[in-house]
A and B are shown apart, each in its own frame.
Chain A
Amino acid sequence: MALISDGRFIEDGWRRLAEEEALPKAGKVIVSLARLQHAIEVLGPESALGVIVPNTTEPSALIEALPRLGLVSISFPAFADGRGFSLARLLRRAGFKGELRASGRLVADQYAHAVGCGFDTIEIPDDLAERQDEEQWRAALNVYAMSYQRGYSGRGSILEARRRAARP
């Protein structure tokens, strides 16, 4: 797996726990949604906890846990399945401040979409990272200077720029 953040391939500080693997005492671990409640109960508040969720997850299933979580990873079963973008928006709206990660076969051309919807990092398989290197991911962030939409992250809003220009 390769991890992209701010247009760079970086080391992943988190470790995804296999289902059969016991919860470690320390370290930044990512558990499945099914194990989340148990992990919260077992681990102390000082240990960093993350969760990986399907893109069909109802935000209400995570609301209570959000303040406790350092990372939420949303899986993309197919790169053209856009449900994860809406779920990311809803989690940010619910006040989640931690790392929001998109995990799947996303392509560099979707990077700006992901950032716009609130994702911080993208986790892709190695074969994809070989074809789409760091340069392509970095370039994808800078294709558009601004966007028409308001309320999405990453780029300046054209509407707001027009308003500023119209002001005497």
Chain B
Amino acid sequence: MTAHDPEAMRRANAPTTTYRYDEYDAALVRERVAEFREQVRRRLAGALTEEEFRPFRLMNGLYLQLHAYMLRVAIPYGTLTARQMRRLADIADKWDKGYGHFTTRQNLQYNWPKLVDTPDILEALADVEMHAIQTSGNCIRNVTADHFAGVAPDEIEDPRPTAEFLRQWSSLHPEFSFLPRKFKIAVTGAAHDRAAIMVHDVGLRIVRNDEGEIGYQVVVGGGLGRSPFVGKVVGDFVPRRDLLAFLEAIMRVYNRFGRRDNKYKARIKILVHEKGIDDIRAAVEAEFAAMDRSVFAHDPAEFERIAGFFAPPPYESLPSDSQMLRAAKLETPAFANFADVNVGAHKIPGYAIVTVSLKPIGGVPGDASSDQMRVLAEASERFGFGELRVSHEQNIILPHVKQDDLFALWRTLDAAGLATANAGLVSDIISCPGLDYCSLATARSIPIAQAISTRFADMSRQRRIGKLGIKISGCINACGHHHVGAIGILGLEKKGQESYQITLGGDPTFSASIGEILGPGVTAEQTPDVIEHLVDFYLAEREEGEAFIDTWRRIGHARFKDVLRREGEDGADI
């Protein structure tokens, strides 16, 4: 970039679409980098044992994986600026192998950093107001939110100011940094839940009461992993002024009474399950009543300060129907498919929300090369006020694109291999890294995702099938959210062989349900066949406009089980 670069001028004048650090935020992140640099030095000098170092490196997003360290960078509530995306690309080139992996919790993972380089990587992140704080470890994790926040037509309130408020409250918390286990919070402010709040340790749903006051429905004890649970309501309407105190009470109850004897029973969902939601509610309410709530009292000025950063960008006044879009769709069928599948309604007339799929047919779900990241950064500046989002489906969202610009955007994306028109379709598969990277995994998941995606390579067939979520995890920790996939796939290891257990009927929204097991596990080779037969059966049985989960709920699990059984009779050993 030179001083005469006309783009640089435009970038500098880009409107604020996300939270910007003030001197205090900036200082704190720099202090964390300096602390971590010192922790790495002390680890190498022997002042810290590996066991002692572990929670501190985890609380800075650094895992020891199968082949190398993995660094997980926080993308709070999934919102990124173009500048931040470019920096992620630069880091991928300099310290990784030229790509990054977007995760189901709206974060980004680098799979090949060196321990000694991580302080420098963190420094490079701090330059663009980013960090890796609490993306791992037994602490309050990076807070996630609806990836359509601020632009969805069905929204009561943008959840991001709340999420940012909680990011700050939970960062380096003196009392809640050594919890029994990790603690995940998600926030949604819309009528439709895109943040999977029912399957989080705490899910917050912004609601309005009869008096028109904004508050939160607080759900606790949801989670996936080896014991999946749908969360239960612990506070039906918590006014905004009480939110922090209420959360502080939940955290204290969990910190004191959550199980620590068995890490597999240490999440708050087990405490809620064993004690019962009524006991937990009583304990939380008692703690809430006993504490000095004045220090947590809602500060409207501070909330407004934060909310101000999420003000809408300067939209133009446009007709709701774009002639250019209409014409381009007629002229270019491939674009028409993209526009029909990957483009969603925006609350402002003449604008659209674009999902950029990171699931090319046969590709690795969630991976983006540094070049692709730069294309996305550039596209967001040309067409979308320089803002990007990461969805928990591991895709990238351009949240404010003029309908008139959609065709030009599509051409840009297409040239970079980023125009796969499969958002929400059967090949838009959520997958964890699995045995190819992860030290916890019991089976591969990426190759399974690739095989299924390739099986359904025919895009017209995919569009005929319609929206269908397949989610794959390579072990019972369920990072791929298989429990809440309409079709879920769990990779296990049985007698040295990979075995894939299929579940049906999972739902991550307000109507949350955990998928039911279809039958005995199948081999990696059989998995695409079984999925294909299940999908064909659904197509034969569905009523007009009926989604997979609704057909499954209507006709019942047993009918789908028969599909698998018939499969066995055809000679397959399952």
A residues whose Cβ falls under 8 Å from a Cβ of B:
79-83, 85-87, 89, 93, 107, 109-110, 112-117, 131-132, 136, 139, 143-152, 154, 158-159, 161-163, 166
Contacts and interface: CB of A to CB of B under 8 A. Distances in A.
Given A143-B31, A144-B28, A83 B174 contact: no
Contact of A159 (B27, B46, B299): B299
Contact of A80 (B138, B290, B301, B305): B138
Contacts of B39: 109
B168 A107 contact: no
A144 B301 contact: no
A81 B260 contact: yes
Nearest to A154: B174
Given A132-B48, A148-B169, A154-B174, 18 more contacts: A80-B55, A82-B179, A85-B174, A85-B175, A86-B255, A89-B175, A109-B56, A110-B178, A113-B177, A114-B174, A136-B42, A144-B35, A146-B27, A151-B292, A151-B296, A152-B175, A159-B299, A159-B302
Contacts of B55: 80
B52 A82 contact: no
A103 B342 CA distance: 57
B173 interface: yes
Interface in B4-37: 22, 24-25, 27-28, 31, 34-35
Nearest to B170: A148
B174 A152 contact: yes
Contacts of B327: none
Interface in B129-155: 138
Nearest to A85: B175
B295 interface: yes
Given A81-B178, A82-B179, A148 B52 contact: no
Nearest to B35: A143
A154 B168 CA distance: 18
A148 B34 CA distance: 18
Given A79-B52, A162-B22, A117 B175 contact: yes
Q: How large is the interface on B (under 10, 10 to 19, 20 to 34, 35 or more residues)?
A: 35 or more
A166 B35 CA distance: 30
8 contacts: A81-B260, A82-B178, A85-B255, A143-B34, A148-B168, A149-B169, A163-B302, A166-B301
B174 A149 contact: yes
Contact of A158 (B28, B174, B255, B301): B28
Contact of A107 (B52, B169, B179): B52
B38 interface: yes
A144 B174 CA distance: 12
**Residue among B49, B175, B302 with the most chain A CB within 10 A?**
B175
A86 B174 contact: no
B176 interface: yes
Given A82-B176, A93-B290, A136-B42, A163 B301 contact: yes
B465 interface: no
Nearest to B244: A150
Contacts of B169: 148-149
Contacts of A139: 38
Contacts of B171: 148
B130 to A, nearest CB: 17
A146 B54 CA distance: 25
Contacts of B47: 131-132, 136
Interface string B350-364: 000000000000000
A50 B47 CA distance: 32
B252 interface: yes
B291 interface: yes
A159 B299 CA distance: 9
Contacts of A86: 175, 252, 255-256
Contact of A112 (B25, B52, B174): B174
A48 to B, nearest CB: 28
A151 B177 contact: no
Contacts of B138: 80, 82
Given A151-B296, A163-B299, A83 B256 contact: yes
B524 interface: no
B185 to A, nearest CB: 15
B172 interface: yes
